[in-house]
Structure 1
Amino acid sequence: MGLNSITKWLDQCHFGDCRDTMRAMIADGVKVQTIVTSPPYWGGLRDYGHEAQLGLERDPAEYVRVLVETFRLARDLLAEDGTFWLNVGDVYAASGKGGGGNRGDRAAWSTIKERKGFRMPPAGYKMKDLTLVAFQLADGLRRDGWYLRQTVIWKKPAAVEPMRLDRPATSHEYLFLFSKSEMYRAHNPGHKWWGHSVWEIGSDSDGSHPAAMPSELPERCILATTEHSHIVFDPFLGSGTVAASAQKLDRSWIGCELNEKYEPLQRDRLRQPGLQLEVA
């Protein structure tokens, strides 16, 4: 493939279904060095405002199946010595929207399912079960051929949900490091955080995106597994955090995003006059 067929993808967000976009990139011979992404979590935990968004599957098993197939395409885009950083959080089997729990000022469990927005647990799960869907996804990817190299705990500075009486609050997410091959590009450029399995990173989100990751998170991933000539890819670009981090570190980047409403946020963060709006 010619150079022009690859450069047309660079430093742009391509809006539409990332699976269609990735197939077109594969046909053009595009290769990326690292993938850094945070897909929508299962169960509609965060609403991205699009009827075709991932995360609305009927149960965790279906969610895992869809994402394993999606990231199989991403693996075809990855260089043989490339890496894949996956940020994903765990969720509970039943949605807490609308109240519930064992507090006296909330509705009893016998009536909570009638409250607006409440999600009953899928088959095989009980009302208060933690699904472990993050680990189900990691294991599904490992079984599909990825090398699962490490689980990093991203420790947030404060709980991200109201305090509960019957369990500790959630104040962390998981960052899984995968590689395409047994031998892959990763190095320790003298960063102290590379020697720790737990990363404590504060949020720098302005609230414009419901699930924006802090910029330091992708920066660490990019620094550890790429060089200046490499391409960084995010199939779920959202507000553009990974692209902005890649640009800051003088790397080329490619993004995919389903929802075009994030284009102004991306343009503002990247300080560009415009971004690609057509599905390739």
Structure 2
Amino acid sequence: MLETIIKFVGKPYYRSPYCAIFNLDCLEAMSKIPTPFANLTVTSPPYNIGKEYESVMPLYDYLNWCESWISQIYRLTVNNGAFWLNLGYIAIADRAKAIPLPYLLWNRIPFFLIQEVIWNYGAGVAGKKFFSPRNEKFLWYIKNGSDYTFNLDDVRDPDVKYPNQKKNGKIKVNSLGKNPSDVWQIPKVTSGADRSSRERTPHPAQFPKALIERIIKASSNAGEIVFDPFLGSGTTAIAALEHKRIAIGFEINSDYCQIAADRIEDFIHTPRQKELLQWEIE
């Protein structure tokens, strides 16, 4: 499938046996691919709030743009595939200080919504006239409401309060742990002197690998394709490779492509990862 996508999209910026990164606008690139390929898409587009990697659009244009690329993802998702979308908050003059962007897109997304997951993190802006923001949302969508992947045993939480609790003489709790809640407490990738995360890169909006790992393990299987049309620093690709998935990413900024490529190269050339990456795809 990697070779098929390369045939239609063109030469990758970076290529390894189970990964391809393209330095392309995702809408332009996706429009060239004729058939569904993505088992799981995990992504976080620009929020339209003036970050260094985006040009702010009028809100209506931004929502139309989101609808366009999400429609392409829907077209390119296999029948039992999933789409995990992270979007933040935006201000609307005279109406809202911080409205969640997914609320403005709810009727523009063709996927079936399974659940909203709250990512709760420890660091962030301190509010003076409002509560300090400490969460973002992930929306878990699927293409087919009756046929989708959910690998609960792969993501169970071993931190069980009463592990020996019994019912009718049998241990009540699954030996692998409990079903995680829809609030995930995972630290942010922080920056700054004496507080910078070990996985920190120059990218200004980097996800922690632990966050994306949980999504990938729950919503895809080994050997399947994980896609990120806004790849950024490459965290989705690294998490996919570590768990024996194929990674495909589009990223319009060549500097970020290089960050992702360097991270992936460092990752796959550690002795342990060399061993883990020796897997066959049928």
Which TM-score band (shorter chain)?
Answer: 0.7 to 0.9
2-side partners of 1:207 and 1:92: how far apart? Answer: 28
Identity rate of aligned residues, in percent?
A: 29
2-side partners of 1:257 and 1:227: how far apart? Answer: 24
Structure 2 match to 1:57: 57
2-side partners of 1:71 and 1:89: how far apart? Answer: 16
1-side partners of 2:235 and 2:221: how far apart? Answer: 19
2-side partners of 1:207 and 1:214: how far apart? Answer: 11
Query: What is the aligned counterpart of 2:127 among 164, 176, 198?
Result: 164
What is the number of residues matched between the two proteins? 227
**Are 1:37 and 2:39 counterparts?**
no
Structure 2 match to 1:80: 79
Q: Per the alignment, in what secondary structure is the counterpart of residue 118 of structure 2? A: strand
Name the amino acid aligned to 2:150: A
CA positional deviation for 1:206: 1.4
Q: Where do 1:238-277 residues align within 5 Å?
A: 238-271=232-265
CA contact (8 A) 1:219 1:246 kept: yes
CA positional deviation for 1:145: 2.1
**Are 1:218 and 2:218 counterparts?**
no
Structure number having the greater strand percentage: 2
1-side partners of 2:227 and 2:52: how far apart? Answer: 23
Query: What is the aligned counterpart of 1:136 among 87, 92, 104?
Result: 104
**Are 1:149 and 2:114 counterparts?**
yes
1-side partners of 2:233 and 2:151: how far apart? Answer: 28
Name the amino acid aligned to 2:98: L
Name the amino acid aligned to 1:12: A
CA contact (8 A) 1:154 1:198 kept: yes
Structure 1 match to 2:15: none
Q: 1:178 to 1:3 in 2, by over 3 A?
A: closer
Q: 1:216 to 1:155 in 2, by over 3 A?
A: same
CA positional deviation for 1:187: 2.5
Structure 1 match to 2:162: none
1:78-127 deviation digits (Å, cap 9, x = unpaired): 1100000011111333xxxxxxxxxxxxxxxxxxxxxxxxxxx3xxx34x
CA contact (8 A) 2:23 2:251 kept: yes
CA positional deviation for 1:190: 4.7
CA contact (8 A) 2:154 2:218 kept: no
Structure 2 match to 1:236: 230
Structure 2 match to 1:201: 186
**Are 1:182 and 2:153 counterparts?**
no
1-side partners of 2:31 and 2:266: how far apart? Answer: 26
Structure 1 match to 2:52: 47
1-side partners of 2:205 and 2:87: how far apart? Answer: 11
Structure 2 match to 1:15: 23
CA positional deviation for 1:140: 3.1
CA contact (8 A) 1:154 1:201 kept: yes
Q: Per the alignment, in what secondary structure is the counterpart of residue 35 of structure 1? A: strand
CA contact (8 A) 1:6 1:30 kept: no
Name the amino acid aligned to 1:255: G
Structure 1 match to 2:270: none
CA positional deviation for 1:227: 1.1
